[in-house]
Amino acid sequence: MAREVLDAIYATVRKHKMTYDEFNALKAWMIGVGEDGEWPLFLDVWLEHVVEEVNTEHREGNKGAIEGPYYVPNAPEQGADGTISMREGEGGTPLTWTGAVTSTDGTALAGAKVELWHADSDGLYSQFAPGIPEWNLRGTFTTGEDGAFAIHTVQPAPYQIPTDGSCGKLIAAAGWHAWRPAHLHVKVSAPGHELLTAQLYFPGDAHNDDDIASAVKPELILDPKQESDGSASVDYGFVLDPEKG
Ligand code: MBD
Ligand code: FE
């Protein structure tokens, strides 16, 4: 693949007759991405969605989405019906999310893991933004005998790619915007089944149609109900593909 990537770059250089000023700006920018620690962000925002696409197109079960740069394994276990770790007075609309994990043949998957991580109501992730307790809004839920789970959390805010780093410079130079719609990240796993990495979105978000990371799919947009107490509730389950033997 390296040969083909380089050939594609040569074709672009020839087509646009890249100047030395442009070549030197490219070098400085790429060095800056490394200095800013933004290669994971760059690759996940602008490349991962195609990798996800070609690796999951065979699936009959749930649609997935990119993992992104902020997953941390082994988040605290909260059982089949539990509340994610959060601060006293955590911002955001409380959300109760119920669902079940099943196999493509409809069998309930007991003991399946639903790992959930998401931004807070400022669009920030624990373990990556300063000043947020470890594991905040990160948890592992395990389905009961009926494959069901109930998760209590809060709705996240939209996420803005940092504008002060090298990825921000690219976005500004290209005239793009820096936003991802509000989203919940999940990894859903069960023995004998393919790991599902997905994201769930909220209806009406301004960036569902133009996510900077190109990771929204219509099947992944939730349909929450507003409850009289000001909270929201949603039912959304996962269908996992059995591993091919
Ligand atoms: C995120 O929160 C995210 O999910 C992705 C894919 C890229 C940047 C930030
Ligand atoms: Fe994210």
Collapsed DSSP state (helix, strand, coil) of residue 20? helix
Of the candidates 202, 81, 206, 103, which has an alpha carbon nearest to the alpha carbon of residue 149? Answer: 81
Residue nearest to atom 5 of ligand 1 (CA): 68
pLDDT at 210 over 80: yes
Q: Which ligand is nearest to the CA of 117?
A: 2
Of the candidates 181, 192, 194, 190, which has an alpha carbon nearest to the alpha carbon of residue 220? Answer: 181
* Ligand 1 pocket list (CB less than 6 A): 41, 44-45, 66, 68-70, 159, 180, 213, 215
The pLDDT tens digits of the residues spanning 63-115 come to: 999 999 999 999 999 999 999 999 999 999 999 999 999 999 999 999 999 99
Q: May I ask the CATH class of domain 36-240?
A: mainly beta
Torsion of CA 44, 49, 55, 59, to 10 degrees: 130
* Tokens matching residue 119: 């931004």
Domain boundaries, the chain: 36-240
* Tokens matching residue 97: 């999310």
> Average per-residue pLDDT in the chain?
97
pLDDT, residue 46, reads 98
pLDDT, residue 52, reads 98
The full 3-state SS of 56-79, as one line of letters, equals HCCCCCCCCCCCCCCCCCCCCECC
Mutate to test the pocket of ligand 1, among 70, 132, 207, 217 (most ligand atoms within 8 A of CB): 70
Contact 211, 180 (CB under 8 A): yes
Measured at the alpha carbon of residue 127, what is the angle toward residues 124 and 130, in degrees to the nearest 5? Answer: 65
**What pTM was estimated for this model as a whole?**
0.95
pLDDT, residue 245, reads 72
Q: How far is the centre of ligand 2, averaged over its atoms, from the C-alpha of 70 (Å)?
A: 7
CA 24 – CA 245 distance, rounded (Å) = 50
CA 163 – CA 132 distance, rounded (Å) = 20
Q: Which ligand is nearest to the CA of 179?
A: 1
Which atom of ligand 1 is nearest to 213's Cα? Answer: 6
CA 173 – CA 89 distance, rounded (Å) = 39
Mutate to test the pocket of ligand 1, among 180, 197, 200, 211 (most ligand atoms within 8 A of CB): 180
